[in-house]
Amino acid sequence: MLIYILDMFGTAVFAASGVLLAGRLRMDPFGVVVLASVTAIGGGTIRDMALGATPVFWITDTNYLWVIFITCLVSMLAIRRPRQMPWWILPVSDAIGLAVFVAIGVEKALRFGATPMVAVIMGVMTGCGGGVIRDVLAREIPMVLRTEVYATACILGGIVHTMALSANVDTSIATLAGIITTLTIRLAAIRWHLSLPTFALRH
């Protein structure tokens, strides 16, 4: 139940990030909902399609859609009435949602018989896929392809998760270890502005 609640929280936070980007691009309400939706459930949808998990999760559980719609409405109203909000609220909330999404992706892949390597990839896809689609639709370079320590945190969290399961650690503890790893690395990157070295060709 706790994971489910955190999953809904992450869905709302990811949807809110889509709304904010749509607002910067001056999209109409339909565009806002589309950008919020692909951000929140795009990664999980790609994961389920890759695993052959049909129907995809939000078709069988429409709570995800309600969370997205309500988040869009609340976010659009809040943006029209801006208030001072600490800068770290959205990044930290995003980090929590990201860590949970990765763990859910890993667990679902393993339930479908995937190897640990594929499970890690599915975890990264669940956490980052929606943001990639969002940025592509907005004609921006996806954040995971830049220097941000984002996908790297997902990969390491997924590795810890699968290695713990391989060592016969209890599933709940392994899941928690993966979540904590992803969250800790992402929060450290936010706090100390950590980034990866860039690859650039000399002229």
Q: Which residue has the tokens 């790893």?
A: 181
pLDDT confidence of residue 80: 65
pLDDT tens profile 37-81: 999 999 999 999 999 998 999 999 999 999 999 999 999 988 766
For residue 195, what are the β-bridge partners? 148
Quick one: 184 exposed, middle or buried, by C-beta within 10 A (0-12, 13-18, 19+)?
A: middle
135: helix, coil or strand? helix
What sign does the CA torsion over 57, 100, 13, 8 have?
A: positive
pLDDT tens profile 87-119: 888 899 999 999 999 999 999 999 999 999 999
- Residue 199 inside a domain? The answer is no
- Residue 198 inside a domain? The answer is no
Rounded Cα distance between 118 and 122, Å, is 6
- Residue 47 inside a domain? The answer is yes
- Residue 201 inside a domain? The answer is no
Q: Are 186 and 149 in contact (CB under 8 A)?
A: yes
pLDDT confidence of residue 55: 94
Mean pLDDT, residues 121-148: 92
For residue 148, what are the β-bridge partners? 195
- Residue 172 inside a domain? The answer is yes
- Residue 203 inside a domain? The answer is no
pLDDT confidence of residue 187: 97
pLDDT tens profile 149-183: 999 999 999 999 999 999 999 999 999 999 999 99
Domain of residue 145, residue span: 2-192
**What are the structure tokens assigned to 164, written together?**
């713990």
Amino acid sitting at position 173: I
Report the predicted TM-score, pTM, of the whole model to 2 decimal places: 0.94
- Residue 197 inside a domain? The answer is no
- Residue 35 inside a domain? The answer is yes
DSSP string, 38-105: HHHHHHHHHHHHHHT-SS-HHHH-THHHHHHHHHHHHHHHHHHS-----TTHHHHHHHHHHHHHHHHH
Rounded Cα distance between 184 and 198, Å, is 23
Count of domains forming the chain: 1
**What are the structure tokens assigned to 141, written together?**
């370079």
